[in-house]
């Protein structure tokens, strides 16, 4: 059977930065450690005045195509995943293809284009669509371009404001991939939930605490569903577990839940029982409330065991390094978690070829999906080509007044003219609107 998966990846961050401890916390009258330790975030990326979901997506895609030596005719499909779209009819993929056609001789007229929506999980769903298209043999030897691009902005004053972010991840899905092969097995946890939504509005309506519970409930459901087709999982099966990362503190909770689930009825649970007792079983409790209280106490104890801490430090913590510096990128978030893990492995000289990842995606509304990935032979070369650290270092550091202005600039209900903070060069830029209110773009090369 042909292996299908992610052949290459490129990341484009919004070119501005909001430092949460230095700039945001003092204005909010909060302890900086609420952000750096509690949420686990140092900074958020923001789009400059000339940037939006199209420019960031097109810039990531161009880097990817250039690095892989691709021409438009090599691409049979362009899927964009976003929850920041500005048009209910014309998909963002057409704008991105239009941008790329400005700099390539060929065109994408024979590529199928679409836009995927299911909150943050849409990036992974687009991977699935590309995977299925290739597996079905409909790709005519061509690869798929998947772009996850978002400006994750919240209304000012919303608790979610601390978890904003903006950036794009472009991924090439192909046969015999260089980076990771996707498993056929998948697990889903999906239910009609009202945790986070944008009913025809730009900024989300969020029930923050509920959204965290729903994330965990759907993730557990997806893991059980995954195990029903792949067999039981064990913490030692996976080199890394990248999760959707709205903020690293959320992943801290997901990691603990996953570990508790995976070790149940294994020798690991038995060994830990000497230290913290066995996991509470619901049948041993009179009511749900006392069971849940016992589970909470047990989770607290489990989180401080050496076994858990070592596992988390090796398997989950390395997935968070990019996220801590850029915030939530919604559809791109789980894909930067995977990139962070592989980047850490490359930096530490860990040989990952043939090892497994377990990938936990999530979208509010709500759905979680779990699948496994096998790291491919050329992963290191692919990951070493990323320049996300340089991009992050080059971001313009906003003061609070500038942050508010940029936030207003990207507010669809306001018309704010402002100078760019950075000088665009070798990139696509937003230039204004056309006669039908469409957005217009140019490629700038100084
Ligand atoms: N030092 C260290 N830690 C501190 C601290 C301090 N001085 N002050 C607070 N903290 C800790 C808190 O204890 C808490 O950690 P725990 O949950 O582990 O206890 C953490 O910092 C955050 O503090 P609060 O809970 O008080 O923060 P908040 O109420 O202001 O907001 C939030 C948190 C609800 C997540 C909010 O940021 C939010 O609404 N975010 C948007 C929704 C979201 O991201 N939900 C995640 C699941 S949904 C999803 O994943 C989809 C998506 O992408 C949006």
pLDDT at 1 over 80: no
Q: Which of 244, 335, 371, 410 is catalytic?
A: 244
Sign of the torsion angle spanned by Cα atoms 259, 265, 271, 272: positive
Q: Which residues pair with 151 in a beta bridge?
A: 166
Model pLDDT for residues 363-403, shown as the tens digit of each residue: 999 999 999 999 999 999 999 999 999 999 999 999 999 99
pLDDT at 187 over 80: yes
Instruction: Give the residue-averaged pLDDT of 324-352.
Output: 98
Q: Which whole-number Å values give the CA distances from 96 to 64, 65, 102, 158, 267, in the listed order?
A: 13, 13, 10, 31, 51
Model pLDDT for residues 408-446, shown as the tens digit of each residue: 999 999 999 999 999 999 999 999 999 999 999 999 998
Query: In this structure, which residue's CA is closest to atom 11 in ligand 1?
Result: 38
Closest CA to 362 of 163, 261, 214, 248: 214
**Chain-centroid distance, C-alpha 43:** 16
Backbone angles phi, psi at 108, to 5 degrees: -110, 30
Give 250 Cα–ligand 1 centroid separation in angstroms.
8
pLDDT above 70: percentage of residues in the chain: 100
Dist CA 299 CA 38 (whole Å): 17
Cα atoms found within 13 Å of the Cα of residue 100, Cβ hemisphere only: 31
Query: In this structure, which residue's CA is closest to atom 54 in ligand 1?
Result: 246
Please confirm, yes or no, whether 261 is among the known catalytic residues: no
Model pLDDT for residues 19-75, shown as the tens digit of each residue: 999 999 999 999 999 999 999 999 999 999 999 999 999 999 999 999 999 999 999
Q: Which whole-number Å values give the CA distances from 22 to 25, 30, 38, 327, 419, in the listed order?
A: 7, 11, 15, 15, 24
Report the pocket of ligand 1 as residue ranges, CB < 6 Å. Answer: 31, 33-34, 37-39, 120, 159-160, 162-163, 196, 206, 208-209, 211-212, 215, 244, 246, 249-250, 328, 330, 362, 364
Dist CA 138 CA 126 (whole Å): 16
Query: In this structure, which residue's CA is closest to atom 3 in ligand 1?
Result: 38
Task: Enter the tokens of residue 406.
Answer: 């940029």
Query: In this structure, which residue's CA is closest to atom 20 in ligand 1?
Result: 38
Instruction: Give the residue-averaged pLDDT of 301-311.
Output: 98
User: Which residues fall within 8 angstroms of residue 389, CB to CB, at 6 or more apart?
Assistant: none
Closest CA to 3 of 181, 157, 147: 181
Is residue 344 within 8 A of residue 134, CB to CB? The reply is: no
The correct answer on CATH 3.40.47.10 for the domain covering 4-444 is: yes
pLDDT above 90: percentage of residues in the chain: 99
Note the pLDDT of residue 189: 98
Note the pLDDT of residue 446: 86
pLDDT at 284 over 90: yes
Closest CA to 364 of 148, 124, 163, 195: 195
Does the bond joining 142 to the residue before it have cis omega, within 30 degrees of 0?
no
Note the pLDDT of residue 353: 98
Taking the CB of residue 105, how many other CB atoms lie within 10 A of it?
Answer: 7
Give 252 Cα–ligand 1 centroid separation in angstroms.
11
Please confirm, yes or no, whether 244 is among the known catalytic residues: yes
Kindly report the average pLDDT of the chain as a whole number.
Answer: 97
**Chain-centroid distance, C-alpha 235:** 22
DSSP for residue 24: I
pLDDT at 356 over 90: yes
Closest CA to 279 of 290, 287, 291: 291
Give 111 Cα–ligand 1 centroid separation in angstroms.
41
Instruction: Give the residue-averaged pLDDT of 112-121.
Output: 98
Give 407 Cα–ligand 1 centroid separation in angstroms.
21
């Amino acid at each position: 059977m042909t292996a299908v998966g992610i052949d290459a990846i490129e990341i484009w961050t919004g070119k501005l930065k909001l430092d949460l401890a230095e700039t945001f916390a003092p204005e909010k009258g909060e302890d900086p450690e609420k952000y750096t330790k509690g949420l686990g975030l140092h900074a958020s990326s923001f789009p400059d005045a000339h940037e939006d979901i199209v420019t960031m997506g097109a810039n990531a895609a161009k880097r990817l195509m250039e690095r892989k030596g691709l021409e438009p005719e090599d691409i049979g499909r362009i899927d964009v995943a976003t929850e920041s779209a500005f048009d209910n009819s014309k998909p963002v993929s057409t704008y991105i293809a239009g941008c790329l056609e400005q700099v390539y001789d060929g065109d994408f007229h024979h590529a199928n284009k679409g836009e995927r929506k299911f909150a943050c999980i849409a990036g992974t769903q687009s991977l699935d669509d590309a995977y299925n298209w290739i597996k079905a043999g409909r790709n005519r030897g061509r690869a798929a371009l998947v772009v996850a691009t978002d400006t994750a902005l919240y209304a000012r004053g919303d608790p979610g404001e601390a978890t904003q972010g903006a950036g794009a991840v472009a991924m090439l899905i192909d046969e015999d991939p260089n980076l990771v092969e996707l498993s056929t097995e998948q697990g889903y946890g999906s239910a009609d939930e009202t945790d986070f939504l944008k009913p025809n509005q730009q900024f989300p309506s969020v029930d923050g605490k509920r959204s965290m519970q729903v994330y965990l409930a759907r993730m557990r459901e997806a893991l059980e569903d995954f195990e029903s087709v792949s067999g039981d999982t064990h913490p030692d099966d996976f080199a890394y577990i990248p999760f959707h990362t709205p903020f690293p503190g959320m992943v801290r909770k997901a990691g603990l839940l996953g570990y508790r689930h995976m070790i149940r009825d294994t020798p690991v649970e038995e060994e830990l029982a000497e230290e913290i007792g066995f996991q509470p079983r619901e049948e041993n409790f009179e009511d749900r409330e006392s069971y849940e209280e016992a589970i909470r106490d047990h989770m607290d104890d489990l989180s401080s065991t050496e076994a858990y801490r070592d596992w988390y430090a090796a398997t989950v913590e390395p997935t968070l390094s990019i996220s801590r510096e850029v915030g939530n990128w919604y559809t791109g978030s789980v894909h930067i978690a995977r990139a962070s893990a592989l980047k850490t492995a490359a930096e530490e000289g860990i040989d990952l070829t043939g090892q497994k990842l377990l990938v936990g995606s999530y979208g509010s509304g709500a759905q979680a999906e779990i699948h496994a990935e096998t790291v491919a032979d050329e992963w290191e070369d692919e990951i070493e080509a990323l320049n996300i650290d340089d991009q992050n270092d080059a971001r313009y550091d906003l003061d609070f007044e500038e942050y508010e202005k940029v936030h207003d600039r990207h507010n669809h209900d306001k018309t704010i003219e402002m100078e760019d903070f950075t000088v665009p060069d070798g990139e696509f830029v937003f230039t204004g609107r056309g006669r039908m209110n469409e957005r217009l773009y140019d490629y700038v090369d100084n």
